[in-house]
Amino acid sequence: MTEKLSDKTDIKSLTLPELTEELKTKGQQPFRAKQIYQWMHEKCARSFDEMTNLSKDFREQLKEWYAYTALQTVQVQESRIDGTKKFLFALADGNVVESVWMQYKHGNSVCISSQVGCRMGCKFCASTLDGLERNLLPSEMLDQIYAITLATGERVSNVVVMGTGEPLDNYDNLLKFIRLLTDENGLHISQRNVTVSTCGIVPRMRQLAEEKLQITLALSLHATTDEKRKRLMPIANRYSIRELMEACEFYFRQTGRRITFEYSLVGGVNDWEEDAAELSALAAPLCCHINLIPVNPIKERDYVRSDANKIQAFKNMLEKNNKNVTIRREMGRDIDGACGQLRRRYKEEPSGGMKRA
């Protein structure tokens, strides 16, 4: 699997000190690095040509030295209900990824993809049906946010890494991405406003804890026993719930950050009263928040959504046990169902009758 797009260095994936060092080898002064970095990460420039305070000759030189990633917007779908927008972007190699823009009272949130496809194989998820194509570069994760910032003309305040892909399966690039995203010379998004969602790769969760970042870790739990979890998520064959809970506890101890448990409610599978009781017990010793996600049915599988009463009863039961719990508000219900479905539909039928950008 290759994720390198050309032989040239991917300039947007360099930190400011790295870029300064890099340009020094080309005989350039540090202030040049700062100028270029600001164009890339603060002004979201789409090419070297936009960097108008650099001479034309220097810009041509930069093009020869470095690769500059930029996304092409392939499709945009906008919800008439809540203004949520789903973007389908083409990468330089023709692969497509999707990202979502959501407006909340507390600010604007973008959900990004971390890989092209996914190899985790969760049974209810559309993103994993064709496996993993490749990892995204740090620059390509940033580009999703930059392109949306330019398209909406609004500031992004929250970033959730919950689109296609398993972020902890692309660990080094993810870390670099977070450092660039939260850097004071770039968009400077607060670490506390960044959430990374994982299906539960235990060693990576522990490694992330040791980075001592202030980001939120969300664990896709979805079941309360190993046996049930194995039926929904192949990763459960590798790591037990007990190991997951220990890793969550460790994350909290290292970072002081409350864990989020995501629990997708799948009708008749994990939405019983006993599941709610077991979930309360599991969560009891941990400082956590539980986010219930009514499953989004995908056409390739026959999972169904729990009915509204059952979802409410599940929530009530958790609350009775003093758990902090929310039901994920459905955003953009009228535009496309589950994560990964826009990309999938595009792959099946590129002209697919959707609104083009």
Which of 44, 98, 199, 248 is catalytic? The answer is 98
- Choices 72-80, 117-125, 246-254, 344-352; region in contact with ligand SAH by CB under 6 A: 117-125
Query: CB-hemisphere CA count at 13 Å for 214?
Result: 6
Which of 118, 125, 288, 339 is catalytic? The answer is 339
Q: Residue 166 interacts with ligand SAH (CB under 6 A)? A: yes
Count of residues that interact with ligand SAH, criterion CB under 6 A = 18
Near ligand SAH in 216-275, by CB under 6 A: 220, 262, 264
Q: Annotated catalytic, 287?
A: no
CB of 246 to ligand SAH, least distance (A): 18
Residue 36 or 266: the one with the smaller Cβ distance to ligand SAH is 266
Query: Helix, strand or coil for residue 252?
Result: helix
DSSP 89-134: EE-TTS-EEEEEEEEETTEEEEE--SEEE-SS--TT-GGGTT-EEE
Q: Read off the tokens for 275.
A: 């599941």
Using CB under 6 A, pick the residue from 209, 339, 342, 354 that binds ligand SAH: 339
Q: Annotated catalytic, 300?
A: no
In whole angstroms, give the CA distance from residue 292 to residue 316.
12
In whole angstroms, give the CA distance from residue 337 to residue 299.
10
Helix axis angle for 241-255 and 202-211, nearest 10°, is 0
- In terms of Cα–Cα distance, which of 221, 212, 234 is closest to 286? 221
Using CB under 6 A, pick the residue from 298, 318, 325, 331 that binds ligand SAH: 298
Dihedral angle sign, alpha carbons of residues 210, 216, 217, 223: positive
Using CB under 6 A, pick the residue from 37, 66, 68, 124 that binds ligand SAH: 124
Near ligand SAH in 185-214, by CB under 6 A: 197-199
Residue 32 or 229: the one with the smaller Cβ distance to ligand SAH is 229
Catalytic residues: 98, 339
For binding to ligand SAH (CB under 6 A), which residues are involved? 120, 122, 124-125, 162, 166, 197-199, 220, 262, 264, 293, 295-296, 298, 338-339
